[in-house]
Structure 1
């Protein structure tokens, strides 16, 4: 049996889609968390000096989407064909465009965060959500980004929207996107994911 160890902060962040993949697959893993204040001590121990990082039988993988893609392949959440995988990557990279802007909101000066948040909600979210709705509409069934079951793209989408809503102080950023809103509800309704959502710690306050 493969031993998985996830290293990350005590937040949802970029680690949450990885946790969701484990929960959806029903695969056990160990998680080792640390505080932000302790990061300088742990940082040199990771190959890219970044987290999340995943140990797989003692071998370390860094970069959140590399980890998610690896797990998706292992657990069957990466489509059935190479073309499916390309469409999943297309959605993942589109969502990453939004996540990169979330990083700008997080990490800039605290005093100007309200202005960055306003720009994010006004200028970043609408076009990316519009693109994601078009990608969702391309799928014949229209229930998930690719195929008729949850893939890595859906997990990353769920996590990104959760984070956008969180830093928007609870605002529903999907309010004007009925198809994406329904997708998020379908993901949350999966019994294994719902069980995790019911017990996971709340997101940290930034």
Structure 2
């Protein structure tokens, strides 16, 4: 019997989008459940650790978006050639998480003066530090992140780089052509291109 998947998240791309990209690429059907903010307080206690997204299948329910992507990546042979490639996927996705955390702190800041200070620090120091290194990694890996081939890490980065352009402007990746090409390559993959064309239009 074919596994039935149910993905629950807010009505946005956010943490769930890399998972949706993986489903689209694998051409695996799933139930894409999107909840509105007023529904969340009553739903929160029913989740494993009070967070979304949640993936349900075979009577089981799991959280943690990166762990879900890793699981699907293993299932669909998107972890590279060997254990070293698999480790590199984990390292690079965790590194992306470090960068996203700092961007998130800027976006959540309420004080206008402090927010502007954080933005300038991101633009001048943090983002160049990470993206210059990542640009070189993609360049050295035949325009992929790991091992010269498509892995689940590429889906994580494609979704995040799309959001990066949304936050900082379309020109933000112009000085990182290999990263920009990686994002565009993922979004042109069969299945994903069709998903992007039909997915709900949301703010984030």
TM-score, normalized by the shorter chain, greater than 0.5: yes
- Displacement, 1:52? 0.8
Check conservation: 2:55, 2:63, Cα contact below 8 A.
Answer: yes
Q: Distance in 2 between matches of 1:14 and 1:124?
A: 21
- Unaligned 5+ residue runs, structure 1? none
Which moved further from structure 2: 114-123 or 35-44? 114-123
- Unaligned 5+ residue runs, structure 2? none
| RMSD (Å) for aligned C-alpha atoms | 1.8
Q: Distance in 1 between matches of 2:41 and 2:196?
A: 30
Cα 1:39–1:125, aligned 2, differ >3 Å: closer, same or farther? same
List aligned pairs for 1:1-206, cutoff 5 A.
1-109=2-110, 111=112, 113-139=115-141, 142-168=142-168, 170-204=169-203
Helix, strand or coil: the match of 1:7?
strand
TM-score (norm 1): 0.90
- Displacement, 1:30? 0.5
Cα 1:8–1:110, aligned 2, differ >3 Å: closer, same or farther? farther
Helix, strand or coil: the match of 2:33?
strand
Helix, strand or coil: the match of 1:191?
coil
Check conservation: 2:80, 2:150, Cα contact below 8 A.
Answer: no
TM-score (norm 2): 0.90
Check conservation: 1:161, 1:173, Cα contact below 8 A.
Answer: no
Q: Distance in 2 between matches of 1:137 and 1:110?
A: 39
